[in-house]
Amino acid sequence: MELSSKKKLHALSLAEKIQVLELLDESKMSQSEVARRFQVSQPQISRICKNKEKLLADWCSGTANRERKRKRESKYSGIDEALLCWYHIARAKAWDVTGPMLLHKAKELADIMGQDFVPSIGWLVRWKRRNNVGFGARHVLAPSFPPEPPPPGLTSQAQLPLSLKDFSPEDVFGCAELPLLYRAVPGNLGACDQVQVLLCANSRGTEKRRVLLGGLQAAPRCFFGVRSEALPASYHPDLVVPWLEWLAQFDRDMGQQGRQVALLLAARVVEGLAGLPGLYHVKLLPLAASSTTPPLPSSVVRAFKAHYRHRLLSKLAAIQSDRDGTSLAEAAAGITVLDALHVASAAWAKVPPQLIFSSFVQEGLAPGKTPPSSHKASEMPPVPGGLSLEEFSRFVDLEGEEPGPGVCKEETGIEDEERDREGAFEPPPTKADALRALGTLRRWFECNSTSPELFEKFYDCEEEVERLCCL
C-alpha cells in the first residue's frame, strides 16, 4: 500500500510576495483565488497582507535579496547592522572590500560591542545573502550635497522646489511635530498631560519612520524595567525634538540602504540646525517661511490623532467595564506615558498608505499631477459610541482649542502619587508570569466565542513569547 506523502510547503520569494500584493490591490481576486494561483495556502496569503508595509519597505530599499523566501534574522543583529553600515561607507569611498576584510572588521566590531563572537565563512555567506551584498565592480554612491533653500517665491501649495522633482515618491519624506494631550477625554480636560510627537513618512506611505514621543519626565516610573530597544516607538525626555540626533540616525539608516532621500522640513526647523554635521544621504528641503503647506500633510496628522483618540477611548471603555462605577476621567488618570507610547505607535500603523500618498500629492509635496483615488471611509476610524460625528471631530482637534480653567497644558516634572498607575514600581514580570498570562488570554478567547482569525494572531504571539522564554 502506498504511503501518503506529507504536503510540501511552498514558500514564496520576496518578488512573488510583491506580485501577490499587486494582484490583491489591482484586481478583484480574493485571497483564496490568489492562493490557488501561487499554489500556497490562504493563511499564507493572509500573513503576506498583514506584513504588507514591511514587505514593501524591503522591496523599495534596494538592499534586500528579492529571491529570498524567508527572512532569517541574525543572532548577532547588532554586529550585522554595524558591519553593513561600515560596508556602505567603504563602498562610498571606493574601497576594494574583500571577504577577509569583512571578517576582520566583524571581529573588530564584536570586540568593541563586548560580544564573544568569531565570524566564520558560513556566517559571512549568510550575511551577504541577507543584505544582498556582492563583490562585483566597484559602485560609488553619488556624492553628498549640502542643504539648499527652495527657489524664491515658493508661496503656493502647487509650487514645488525644483530639486524635489529629482526624487521618486518613495524617496520623498515629510515629517511633523505635534503636541498631543495623551490623557484627554471628551468633556473633561483637567486630567490631561501633554507630550510631543514626531511623525515621519515617505510620500508613498510605504515607509513610516519610528514614532518619537517626548515628555518632560527624564525617567517616568512606568518605564521601570522596560528595555527601550524592545519598544515600538522612541521616548525622549524633553518636549523639544532632538533634531540633531534624529537626523543623524535617519542619515545612517538611509546610508545602510544605499539611498539618497529628500526630507521636507519647516523653514523654522532648518534655521535652528546651524550646528548640524554633514548629512550624506538625506537632503533637507525647507519649505518657504511664507508657505502655509506643512511638511507632513495636515490630513495625515489628523488621521493619526483620530486613530489615537479612538484607540484611547476603546482602552478606557475596557477599563470601565472591568471596574464598576469608574468614570471615564478616573480611568484616564491611570494612563501613563508608556501607555501613550504604545497607543501612538498603534495609531500611526493604522494610517493607510493610500491616504498618505494622496495627501502628499494634493498638497503639492510629491511629484504627480492627479492625486490617486482614496477611500474616504477607510481614512478615519468609526465614531466611538456615545459621541456624535461633530463631538468626535472636535475631540480629535482638541489641541487647537484654548484651554479652560484648570486644564493642564503640559506634564509636570513633579511626581504625583495619585496619578501613577498601581504597580508602577512592581518588578518586571517573570517568564512564568508571561506563560500564565498566555494561558489566561487563550482561555478568555475560548470562552468568549472569538473568531478563528484572532487565534492565528494569538499563536504568533504565543510562539514569540515561548521563544523568548527559552533564551
Instruction: Go through 134-164 and write b for each residue having 16 or more CB atoms within 10 A of its CB, e for each that does not.
Output: eeeeeeebeeeeebeebeeebeeeeebbeeb
Task: Decide: 368 and 384 in contact? Cβ < 8 Å.
Answer: no
Mean pLDDT, to the nearest integer, of 50-57?
76
Q: Give the mean pLDDT of the chain.
A: 76
Q: Are 216 and 238 in contact (CB under 8 A)?
A: yes
Is residue 359 predicted with pLDDT exceeding 50? Answer: yes
pLDDT tier, 68 (very low <50, low <70, confident <90, very high otherwise): low
CA dihedral 30, 36, 39, 44 (to 10 degrees): 30
3-state secondary structure 333-362: CCCCHHHHHHHHHHHHHHCCHHHHHHHHHH
Res. 407: pLDDT tops 80: no
Nearest CA-CA partner of 299 in 362, 342, 389, 347: 362
Of 20, 43, 64, the C-alpha closest to 256 is 64
Residue with cell 508661496: 155
205 DSSP assignment: S
Q: Which of 125, 346, 340 is nearest to 235 (CA)?
A: 340
Instruction: Please tell me the distance from the alpha carbon of residue 380 to that of residue 401, in angstroms, as a whole number.
Output: 21
What does pTM read for this prediction? 0.59
Q: What Rg, from alpha-carbon coordinates, does the chain have? A: 24
Give the model's confidence band at 305: pLDDT under 50 very low, under 70 low, under 90 confident, else very high: very high
Given this model, what pLDDT does residue 64 score?
A: 52
Is the pLDDT at 73 greater than 80, yes or no? no
CA dihedral 421→422→426→430, nearest 10 degrees, is: -90
**CA-to-CA distance for 252 and 247, rounded, in angstroms?**
9
Q: What percent of the chain has pLDDT over 90?
A: 15
pLDDT digits (tens, 9 = 90+) for 81-110: 888 888 877 777 777 778 888 888 888 888
Task: Retrieve residue 467's grid coordinates.
Answer: 521563544
pLDDT range class, residue 153, cuts 50, 70, 90: very low
CATH class, range 77-131: mainly alpha
CATH code: domain 14-61 is 1.10.10
CA 268 to chain centre: 25
Select the more confidently predicted residue: 260 or 323.
260
DSSP state of 137: S
Q: Is 133 left (phi over 0), alpha (psi -120 to 50) or beta?
A: beta
Cell (9 digits) for 19: 506580485
Asked whether the predicted pLDDT for residue 154 surpasses 50, the reply is no
* Grid cell for residue 249: 540616525
pLDDT at 401: 55
- Work out the pLDDT band at 211, boundaries 50, 70, 90: very high
